[in-house]
Amino acid sequence: MKMESRLAQIGSLEDPATGGVSFPVYHATAFRHPRLGQSTGFDYARTKSPTRSVLESAAAELESGDAGFACSTGMAALQTIFALFAQGDHLLVSLDLYGGTFRLLEKIMSRFGVTASYVDTNDLDALESSSRPNTKAVLIETPTNPLMMVTDVEKISAWAKAKGYLVIVDNTLMTPYFQRPLEQGADIVIHSATKYLGGHNDVLAGLIVTKGEELSKEIAFLHNSIGAVLGPQDSWLLMRGMKTLALRMERHRDNALRIAAWLKEHPAVAEVYHPGLPHHPGHDVQKRQCSGDTGIFSFKMKDARTIEPILRHIRLIAFAESLGGVESLMTYPAVQTHADIPEEIRRAVGVDDRLLRFSVGIEHVDDLIADLDQAIQAAEREIGGGSR
């Protein structure tokens, strides 16, 4: 079946006892054994739970993987993956990186002797020069958050495989509807499922999908041992959100591209970072490896003084963290999502005090543009003058 049909039918054929088209929420944490040495396949909910299992199977199938694992948050999913590595191991990681991932690596994994080098993962020379004898994996965000840098997953996967490195791809911003990194050579895909997969700003979750029997067994062991698993109610909410993923991603993409193009021509805006725009340096790679574009992008104002009044004057758009929900959200990365990254590193990458990140929702695009326009005009009046 096509992706749209598979999404809409998640869980609808999994309850033959009742024929329920919405899979039930099983709150049970313990399950009866028929007799000694026999199991129904469910023993204890941390290890395996009926509602979570349906979600995990759907995630694996959508990403063309062999196994799926639902975690309590996206960060819990990352921590489960990082538990693959041991003291002395080294990782190559995307240069422009979500602040929470940087914090986990630098403030927690470093305590256990796991180190990371931050590299433009689309630059083979930079990756080669940053590689060490103890390098074990490449962790890629594509596009990155918030500057939307794009990595050629197939090219980097081939390079990494030749060296025996695992390839881990954060696919949060694209979802399996638009991008499937396991089909392009990656070993592990991770999602902050709180974002586009859930889609309604009402469920906190993470997903891991693996390729290969041995790797899947290893992650299954870590998932059970660490225990940061997703509960049944949240598993059901996530499945419900995923059923409309195709419809939502189409609207997110269309709205974002139109607004990004409008901002690109705005006299108060210095730069727009969206890989769907032809001027973006990763546009051709994005077009080749994805079937569509994400609904999130960033833009940089010419004058940093406009940032605070813009955030104060937006009305329909909410000044709030997170992304990927049906409601439009605007974030100031320098003091919110990327505050844990040292200022000199942020500025070197381009995450400075003029940058705003916009998660475009499914509202009518004309209303969103009107809201942005009035907020920018109000900001320009406040700082005295303006570009018009």
Catalytic residue list = 46, 98, 170, 195
Q: Give the relative orientation of helices 213-226 and 74-82 as an angle to the nearest 10 degrees.
A: 120
List, in sequence order, every residue forming a beta bridge with 197; answer none if it has no partner. none
Prior bond of 143 cis (ω within 30°): yes
Task: Please give the helix or strand (H or E) that residue 144 lies within, else none.
Answer: none
The two three-digit tokens of residue 283, written as one number: 């546009």
Per-residue DSSP letter, 183: G
Task: Please give the helix or strand (H or E) that residue 369 lies within, else none.
Answer: helix 365-383
Write the burial class of residue 319 (CB in 10 Å: 0-12 exposed, 13-18 middle, 19+ buried). Answer: middle
The two three-digit tokens of residue 369, written as one number: 């543009």
Task: Report yes or no: 96 and 242 within 8 Å, Cβ to Cβ.
Answer: no
Spell out the residues 6+ positions from residue 16 whose beta carbon is closer than 8 angstroms to its own.
Answer: none
Q: Pseudo-torsion of CA 91, 97, 98, 99, nearest 10°?
A: 80
Task: Please give the helix or strand (H or E) that residue 209 lies within, else none.
Answer: strand 206-210
Q: Which DSSP string do the residues of 101-138 spell out, in sequence order?
A: HHHIIIIIGGGGT-EEEEE-TT-HHHHHHH--TTEEEE
Spell out the residues 6+ positions from residue 383 whose beta carbon is closer than 8 angstroms to its own.
Answer: 303, 305, 306, 309
- Which sign, positive or negative, has the C-alpha torsion 232, 104, 149, 183? negative
Number of H helices, E strands in the chain: 14, 12
Q: Please state, in angstroms and rounded to a whole number, the distance separating the CA atoms of residues 5 and 291.
A: 17
Q: Pseudo-torsion of CA 251, 70, 10, 60, nearest 10°?
A: 90
